[in-house]
A = this chain, B = another copy of it.
């Protein structure tokens, strides 16, 4: 995201507990769960706010009560940002806000019926900010993010699991992989969020690829692109209870209203990510 922002020529300030390595950007050190956001925006004067921070520990974030703290901290953050003169704000939302039924999920027509506390937290925060934004003098949008993947991801995630199995020479134990997901490369996600931030489109906007790719197909493409053999066993693990058959975005709003589309197919992007991840892993192993 920072690479995309800096590539756009924006004057960027990061806010968080620690600065991001390898990025030249002004950093405002703050703990969003503890520090006073009015004090933060006393130090940082900004026209645009992109709020990505949240609790995201794999496996735990779906139901952890700390989601409530993030809703509270986020409400206070947007209120202080608007009070300090900020005019445009974008929240990182989630496809977990939707009722996960088959068929493309649409921002206007599809039901918001989150199965999890995390999904409810993002959905309710979005609804409150969308309703209050005009009276706060704020233009507000939320990017409903589908299933991101990228070369740097943790080994609990799908691509990370495959890289780890390849490097360690073990077998990745997977589900049957028949479930279909809308995967989006992190670079396309960043470009989509950037386009949304610089547009005047308000309310929720899906950010995905629009392709319902079976998880098994994702794995096969990734393996084919690896320089080493990667051993996987499909069906070694059951699907988690309540896993939906399909989660896929209707991408017309991002494409037609914001004017953004990913620059390559998701299949090519999986190969890209795998190539970069394997290069990095090769270096790490050597």
Contact = CB atoms under 8 A, between A and B. Distances in A.
A69 B82 CA distance: 13
Contacts of A65: 79, 132, 135-136
A71 B72 contact: yes
Given A120-B128, A128-B121, A71 B67 contact: no
Contacts of A136: 65
Interface residues of A, number: 24
A154 interface: no
Contacts of A131: 63, 117, 120
Contacts of A51: none
A238 to B, nearest CB: 24
A177 to B, nearest CB: 30
Interface in A113-138: 117, 120-121, 124, 127-129, 131-132, 135-136
A131 B129 CA distance: 21
A135 B131 CA distance: 29
Interface string A46-90: 000000000000000001110111011101101100000000000
Contacts of A67: 128, 132
A63 B124 CA distance: 16
Interface string A197-237: 00000000000000000000000000000000000000000
A75 B66 CA distance: 10
B128 A68 contact: yes
A276 B227 CA distance: 86
**Most chain B CB atoms below 10 A, which of A65, A75, A135, A136:** A65
A129 to B, nearest CB: 8
Contact of A127 (B64, B75, B124, B135): B124
Contacts of A76: 69, 72
Contact of A68 (B68, B79, B121): B79
A79 B71 CA distance: 12
B79 A75 contact: no
Given A127-B120, A131-B120, A68 B75 contact: yes
B128 A117 contact: yes
30 contacts: A63-B131, A63-B132, A63-B135, A64-B135, A65-B135, A65-B136, A67-B128, A67-B132, A68-B78, A68-B79, A68-B128, A68-B129, A68-B132, A69-B75, A69-B76, A71-B71, A71-B72, A71-B75, A71-B128, A72-B72, A72-B73, A72-B76, A72-B79, A117-B128, A117-B131, A117-B132, A120-B124, A120-B128, A120-B131, A124-B124
